[in-house]
Structure 1
C-alpha cells in the first residue's frame, strides 16, 4: 500500500501583558492627539475586498522577512516561525495600542496607522480555513484572550474584547493570574488541545507573574497531503551536509514530477502543491558557496518555469521556540515593551497601565511519509506514452529554506530553514 507523504505544521504564540500601575510616568505627554484610530467594535464595518486581504497578506509577509532576518543572525541551527500566527497575536494587541506605541507597532507590522485592519484579518482567516469543510486539509486557527476580571470593568475594555471576538474569533477566558501556576496550566492545556497536543508547555514556569493582567494566544495547526505523493519505497538514506560541514546519512524521499521550478545564479527552488492546490510548500536550495537571504527568493516567486524535475527531499522534523521580544524591539517596536512608555489605553482606557512582558512563539513542523489509503483514492494518475528522464535534478543535500503559503492570498503560514533534518 502506497502511503501519502503528509506535512504537519503547528505554531503557537502567547503574548502576556503586565499591569504597570506602579510604573506609570506622571506628566508624560500624550502623543496621540488625533481621533481614535482603531474602529469601535460596535461600529458597522464594510465587507473587506479581496484586494484588502492581499494587502494584509503582503504586510504579514513583509513583517515575516524582517523578523526572520533578525532571528537568523542569532540562530545557527533549525529555525521555523509562523508569520501568520505572530501577526495575528500582535494585531490583537495592536487593536488596543495608542499614540507612539501604535505608530511603532504599525511600522514594524507594515500597517498604515489608522487603517482598520481587523475585519480584513477576519476575512483572511475565513479564506484560509474555507477548505476545512471539504476535507482537503486541516488548517485550524484559534485565538484566545485570557484576562484578569478586574481589567475588564470599563466600556473601553468591553469594546476591545468585542472587537477581538468579532474579528479574530477570539475566545474569552477569565482567569486568576494571582494563582500563577493554575493560569499557566490552563493556557498550556488550551494550546495543546488546539494543536492536537503537538505543542505542549508553551508557557514555561516563570512566564507569568501575579502582575500579569492579560495574555493573548494564537494557535495554528496544519495537516495536509501532497497533491502528488512520494513513494515510500523510493525513500533511502543519502548524504546530507549539515550546517557545520559534517556529512550524515538522512532519510531522503524522491520522485520525478513536473513542478514550478526556479534556477538562478544564487539558488534552485521547487514548489510542491498540497491536494487541491490551495496551499503549497516551496523548497529553496542555495547554490554551493552562496549565502541566500529569503528575500532573494520571495522577489522571484512570481517568475517560475514549469519543469520536469527529479526531486530528492529529506524527511525532516523541526521544533523551535523563540522569545521574540528582543527581535521585535530591534525592529522598532520599543515602547510596547517599556513600562514607562507603553500606551495600550485602547484595551482598558488607562494609559501606562499595560505593557508587553514577553512574546513566546513555538512551532512544530513534521514532513514525513505518513498517510492514508483514502487519500490515494483521490489521486489522479495519468500515464505517459513514453516516460522521458527528467531534464533537471533538484537534490536537497545541504541546508535549505522552506515556506508554506496560501496560494489565494499569498500569505506565508510557515517560514524556516533546515540545517539538520534530524531535528
Structure 2
C-alpha cells in the first residue's frame, strides 16, 4: 500500500490516499493498481527521473551536510550516448542503471530525443549540453561517431590534449547553453583520459504568479550554526498546492511555473540538514502521486532567491548505482578495438530564480492565515508536468554560499 499523505489546507487536516480508488470499492478490499505512466514520453520521463533520484541519493549520502545539486536529464542523455558504444552485455548493464529496462521501448533513442526536445522548448527556460569526448590514442571507430550524431544531433569529439581541450569543451558548452554555463572545465582532463562524458544544464524558470517583494535580506536558519542573511522573495495570497507528510516530518508545496513546469519544495518541520528520509522517499511514482493529491491553498509565501552554480565529477557515484563491474570492463568495443574506460563524467548545473511572473496574486483585504516560510534547510525539485521528467533537484543547506 502506498503511504497516505496528510494534507493541510486552510487550516484543516484531511487524509488523502496517494492512489486513485474506485467509488464502489469496499472497505478493506484490495486496492486497484493504477498505471501512472501510460505513454512512451511519460514512461521515459519516469525512467530518467528515477535514475536522477538514485544519482542524487548517491551524491547526497557522500555530502551529508552541504548544498548538493543535480540536473539529471543531461546526464541520462550523455550516458545513453555512451551505451551505444558498448557490447550488447555492456549496453544492458548501463541501460539498467539508467532505468530503461522498465520501458520495453524498441524506439528508446527516439523517445529520449523527443523528450529532450520537448523540455528544451524556449518557454521552459531549460538549456543543456551532453557530449562524449574521446582520447585520440584509442584509434576510434568513426561508425560510433556517425551513429550518435544521427540519433542525438551531436557528434562525439576526439581530444587534442591539454589546454586546447579546456577551451574546446568550455566554448561548446557555453554555445549550447546560450552563454549561461561558463568555465565548465577549470583544469585540463587527465593525460591518461580515455572516454569522458560532459553534461551541463542551465535553468531559469518563470513563475506563473509573480512576487511583489524581492531582495530584502532575511534570516535563514542553519543547522548547528548562527543564521545567515539572504535575499528572500515574499508574497501574500500566493497560490500553491500544499500538504504535510507526517512520516517524512515535512511540509510540501508545489509552486507553478510557466509552460507546465513545477517546483516542489520539501520543508522539514525542524531546522536540520539531515534530509535522508525525504531523499530516500523520492521516486517518479511518489512525486506523480503528490502532483495529484496536494491540495490548492493561498499562503503567505517566503522563498530564498536562488542563484547557484554547482560542478562535480559524477564518475565515483556510478558504483553506487550497480555499475562497479561495468566500470572495470565497460566493453566499449564499438568505440575502439583497444580497451577503453570511462575517465570522467563532468557535470555542471546552473540555476536562477527571480520574482517576475505573468500574473499578480489575487487581491485581498488581508493576507492568508497560512504561512509557508522557507527559511531553513530544504530540498526542492523542478519537474516538467507534461512528461513528469525531473529537470533539477537540489538540497539547500546554506543559500548564502550559492554563487554563479
Distance 1:146 1:383, change over 3 A: closer
TM-superposed deviation, 1:295: 4.5
Where relative contact order (Cα < 8 A, 6+ residues apart) is larger, the structure is: 1
| Residue matched to 1:353 | 339
How far apart in 2 are the matches of 1:383 and 1:306? 14
Gaps of 5+ in 2: 1-36
TM-score for the superposition, normalised by structure 1:
0.75
Contact 1:129 1:139 in 2 (8 A): yes
| Residue matched to 1:86 | 75
Instruction: Choose from 261, 275, 291 the match for 2:258.
Output: 275
Contact 1:78 1:318 in 2 (8 A): no
Distance 1:147 1:206, change over 3 A: closer
| Residue matched to 1:313 | 303
Contact 2:162 2:189 in 1 (8 A): no
Gaps of 5+ in 1: 1-48
| Residue matched to 1:393 | 371
How far apart in 1 are the matches of 2:70 and 2:295? 28
TM-superposed deviation, 1:361: 1.4
Aligned-partner SS, 2:344:
coil
| Residue matched to 1:125 | 116
How far apart in 1 are the matches of 2:361 and 2:205? 22
Instruction: Choose from 267, 271, 294 the match for 1:285.
Output: 267
Instruction: Choose from 373, 386, 394 the match for 1:408.
Output: 386
* 2:354 aligned with 1:334: no
TM-score for the superposition, normalised by structure 2:
0.78
Instruction: Choose from 80, 93, 113 the match for 1:104.
Output: 93
Distance 1:50 1:145, change over 3 A: farther
Contact 2:83 2:91 in 1 (8 A): yes
| Aligned residues between the structures | 351
TM-superposed deviation, 1:193: 2.9
Contact 1:284 1:297 in 2 (8 A): no
| Residue matched to 1:245 | 225
Contact 2:209 2:360 in 1 (8 A): no
Aligned-partner SS, 1:359:
strand
Contact 1:142 1:170 in 2 (8 A): no
| Residue matched to 2:294 | 304
Aligned-partner SS, 2:334:
helix
How far apart in 1 are the matches of 2:85 and 2:38? 25
